Amino acid sequence: MNPTWPAFLKWPAALPQPHFLWPQFLWLLLLLPVLVLLYLWLQRRKRKLAVRYASLSLVREALGQGPGWRRHLPPLLLLAALAALLLASARPVAVVALPSNQQTIVLAMDVSGSMRASDVEPNRLVAAQNAAKTFLAELPRDVKVGIVAFAGSAQVAQQPTVNREDLVTAIDRFQLQRATATGNALVISLATLFPNAGIELQQLSLDRLRGGMGRSLDQAPPRQNEFIPVPPGSYSSAAIIMLTDGQRTTGVDPLDAARMVADRGVRVYTVGIGTVDGDTIGFDGWSMRVRLDEETLKAIAHKTAGEYYYAGTAQDLKKVYQNLSSRLTLEKKETEVSALFALAGAALALLAGGLSLLWFGRVL
C-alpha cells in the first residue's frame, strides 16, 4: 500500500515524485513555522523589555550586538538543521549512482575476415583492439575480464582474470577467420561466466526440439539441480559485451542464444561496427559483401535487458567503450539517503552554534 502524503506537501505533477519510506514523519515539518512564530514573538518581547531600561548599554545588550542580520543567521541555520533532521526521520529514498557489484565481464569480439576492412581507420580489427585495451585500462583492477574471439566458431581467448597484461596479450593474438557465428559467441561467453553449469552449444538444439528454453513458473517444481530461469538483467555480477561487424552466417541462432543468456539474468551489450546499409569490401585479391545486422543486435540487447551501440568510426568506438566502462562500474539504484540529510542537519547545527559563539560569545 502506498503511504499517504500530507496535503500541504503535495508535489507538482511535472516534477519527479520524491519517495519517503516513513512519509508520516513529514507532518513534523509543521513545527517549523511554529518555531518561526515563536522566534518572532521572542524578538518582539525582547524589544519591549529593553525599553524599560534607562541605560543605553543595557538596551544594546538586550537587542544583541553587531549588524542586525548576524543576530538572525544562527537561528536561521538552526531552523534549516532541524528541517534536514526531520526529513531524515522520514527516510528519503533517491536514485543515486553507486559503485556496481559487477565482478566479471566477457568481451566477445568478432575476428571474421570483414574486420580487415579499412572504413574504420586503420581497420576495423585494429580499432576494436585499441578500444578494448582502453576499456580494460579504465576498468577497476578488481573486475575480472574474459575474452571470447569468434568468426566461424567461437573460442575462449582468455579465461576471466584481473591480469590486464594477459588480456592485452590475448587481444593482440587475434587471427582473422572466415564466417560469423554470433550465436556461438553468446553461448561460449555464457559458458565462460558459468563454467560449472554444463552450458554447451548442443543444449540449444535440444531445447528447441523440446519446445522451449527453461521452465515456466506454472509448471511442476524443478528436480534437484535443475536450472530455473531468472528475470532478464537480474544477475548483476556479470555482463557480456559483444562487438561484431556483420551478419550471422553460421552457427546457432543468435536470438535463441540470447534467450539462453537472458534466462541466466546476464545482460548483453552489443556494439555494431562497420557498414549498416551493406557494401562490398575487398582485400588481398578477393571481395565479399558485408552488412551490419543492427536489428538482430538490437534484439539481443533487448532480450537480455542490455543496450545496443553503433560505432561508425574508431573515435565512436572508443566513446562506446568509455560509456560502457562507466555503465558497468557505476549503476543507478534506489537508495535511502537519510544519512546525508542527518549529516547536513548536524553540519548546519554546528555552524549555527559556532557562528553564535564567535559573534556573541554564547551558543544561540
Q: Per-residue pLDDT for 212 more than 70?
A: no
Q: What is the mean pLDDT of residues 300-312?
A: 92
Which pLDDT tens digit goes with each residue over 38-70? 888 877 777 766 555 555 555 555 555 445 677
Handedness of CA 152, 148, 312, 297 (dihedral sign): positive
Q: Which residue has the higher pLDDT, 99 or 120?
A: 120
Kindly calculate the radius of gyration of the chain based on its CA atoms and give it in whole angstroms: 31
Indicate if the pLDDT at residue 108 is higher than 90.
yes
Q: 253: number of CA atoms within 13 Å, CB side? A: 10
Question: Mean pLDDT, to the nearest integer, of 26-45?
Answer: 83
What is the C-alpha to C-alpha distance for residues 101 and 237, in angstroms, rounded to an integer?
6
* pLDDT tens track for 253-262: 999 999 999 9
CA dihedral 43, 45, 50, 53 (to 10 degrees): -170
Highest mean pLDDT, choosing among 45-49, 196-200, 261-265:
261-265
Predicted pLDDT of residue 14: 40
Q: Which residues pair with 146 in a beta bridge?
A: 106
Helices (DSSP H) in 51-180: which residue ranges?
A: 56-63, 68-89, 124-138, 164-172
| Bigger pLDDT: 363 vs 222 | 363
Range with the poorest average pLDDT among 207-211, 281-285, 318-322: 207-211
Q: Tell me the domains of the chain and their CATH numbers.
A: 17-96+335-360 (no CATH), 100-218+226-312 (3.40.50.410)
Contact predicate 132/115, CB 8 Å: no
* Ordered DSSP codes for 270-315: EEEES-SS-EEEEETTEEEEE---HHHHHHHHHHTT--EEEE-SHH
Position 197 scores a pLDDT of 84
The 10s digit of each residue's pLDDT in 270-285 is: 999 877 765 666 666 6
Q: Helix, strand, or coil here: 13?
A: coil
Cross-strand partners of 268: 240
